[in-house]
Amino acid sequence: MLLLLGIDDHDSHFGGCTTYVAYKLIHELLKENLNIIPLPALVRLNPYIPFKTRGNAAVRIVIDVKDISEKDFIEHIREIVDKYREKRGKADPGIAVTLVDNLEKLKILYKVYKKAVTDVITSDQIDKICRKLNIYIHGGRGKIGAVACLGFIPDRDSTFELLAYGDPSIKKNIDLNIQIFSLLDNLFRLYTFANIDLENEKILIFPSGPDPVIYGVRGDSPLHVIFLSSLVQAIAKIDIEGWLLFHTNQATGIHLEYSENIMRTFNPYKTIVKIIKISRTEDRHLQCFTEKDPNVFSYRHIGDPCTFLEKSLGDIVEVWGGLRIKDGKYFIYVEGCRKLSRRLVKVLNPRCPRCGSTLKSLGKGKGFFCKRCNIEITNVHKILNDEPMISSGLISLPYLSEFRHLMKIPDRIGIERFSNMFSELDIPMWII
Q: What is the pLDDT confidence band of residue 225, given thresholds at 50, 70 and 90?
A: very high
Residue 106 domain-assigned? yes
User: What average pLDDT score do residues 414-426 get?
Assistant: 89
Q: CB under 8 Å to 23, separation ≥6 — which residues?
A: 163, 165, 242, 243, 244, 431
Widest CA span in the chain: 100
CATH label of the domain that carries residue 202: 3.30.70
pLDDT value for 101: 86
Closest of 60, 70, 142 to residue 106, by C-alpha: 60
What was the pLDDT predicted at 76?
87
Cα separation, 141 vs 122, whole angstroms? 9
Last residue of a domain, one of 106, 128, 153: 153
The answer to whether residue 58 scores a pLDDT higher than 70 is yes
- The whole-number pLDDT of residue 297 equals 97
Give residue 8's pLDDT: 92
Same domain? 27 vs 106: yes
Contact predicate 29/21, CB 8 Å: no
Coil, strand or helix at 389: strand
Of the pLDDT bands very low, low, confident and very high (cuts 50, 70, 90), residue 66 is: confident
Q: How far is CA 143 from CA 75, 77, 254, in A?
A: 14, 14, 22
The verdict on residue 431 lying in a domain is no
Please report which confidence band the pLDDT of residue 52 belongs to, taking 50, 70 and 90 as the band edges: low
Whether 414 has a pLDDT exceeding 70, the answer reads: yes
Average pLDDT (22-50) is: 93
Of 65, 58, 14, give the one whose Cα is nearest residue 36: 65
Each residue's pLDDT tens digit, 106-154:
999 999 999 999 999 999 999 999 999 999 998 888 999 999 999 999 8
The reply to whether 59 falls in a domain is yes
Residues in the chain: 432
CA dist., res. 352 & res. 244, Å (int) = 76
Query: Does residue 318 sit in the same domain as residue 354?
Result: no
| Average model confidence (pLDDT) across the chain | 89
Is 81 inside a domain boundary? yes
Mark whether 41 and 109 lie in a shared domain.
Answer: yes
Is 217 contained in some domain? Answer: yes
Q: Are residues 242 and 177 in the same domain?
A: yes
Q: How far apart are CA 293 and CA 351, in angstroms?
A: 33
Q: Which of 40-54, 256-270, 342-356, 372-386 has the highest mean pLDDT?
A: 256-270
Range of the domain at 89: 2-153
CATH number of domain containing 300: 2.40.50.1010
Residue-by-residue DSSP string for 154-199:
-SS--EEEEEEE--GGGGGG----HHHHHHHHHHHTTTEE-SEETT
The predicted model gives 261-267 an average pLDDT of 92
Do 37 and 130 have their domain in common? yes
Q: 3-state class of 269 per DSSP? A: strand
End-to-end CA distance of the chain: 26
Local confidence band at 15 (pLDDT 50, 70, 90 cut-offs): low
Residue 91 has pLDDT above 80, yes or no: no
Pair (13, 149) in one structural domain: yes
If asked whether residues 300 and 330 sit together in one domain, one would say yes
As for how many domains the chain has, the answer is: 4
Residue 215's pLDDT is what?
96
Residues 199 and 307 in one domain: no
Q: In this structure, are 27 and 139 located in the same domain?
A: yes
| Domain membership flag for residue 432 | no
Reported as a pLDDT band with limits 50, 70 and 90, residue 218 is very high
Predicted model pTM: 0.84
Regarding whether 133 and 69 lie in a shared domain, the answer is yes
Beta-carbon contacts of 408 under 8 Å, excluding residues fewer than 6 positions away, are 251, 252, 253
Task: Please write the tens of the pLDDT for every residue from 164-187.
Answer: 999 999 988 888 889 999 999 999
Q: Are 8 and 128 within one domain?
A: yes
Per-residue pLDDT band at 342 (split at 50, 70, 90): low
% of the chain with per-residue pLDDT over 90: 59
Q: Does residue 359 form part of some domain?
A: yes
Q: How far apart are CA 222 and CA 242, in angstroms?
A: 17
pLDDT of residue 191 exceeding 90: yes
Q: Which of 153, 187, 210 is the last residue of a domain?
A: 153
| Cβ atoms of 68 and 34 closer than 8 Å | no
Who has greater pLDDT, 343 or 341?
341
Within a domain: 256: no
Do 17 and 116 fall within a single domain? yes
- φ, ψ of residue 289 to 5 degrees: the values are -100, 145
What is the enclosing helix (H) or strand (E) of 123?
A: helix 123-133
Looking at the predicted structure, is the pLDDT value of residue 375 above 60?
Answer: yes
Rounded to the nearest 5°, which phi and psi values hold at 82? -65, -25
pLDDT > 80? residue 238: yes
Walk across the sheet containing 192-193 and list its strands: 136-139, 94-99, 2-8, 57-64, 35-44, 242-248, 159-165, 213-219, 192-193
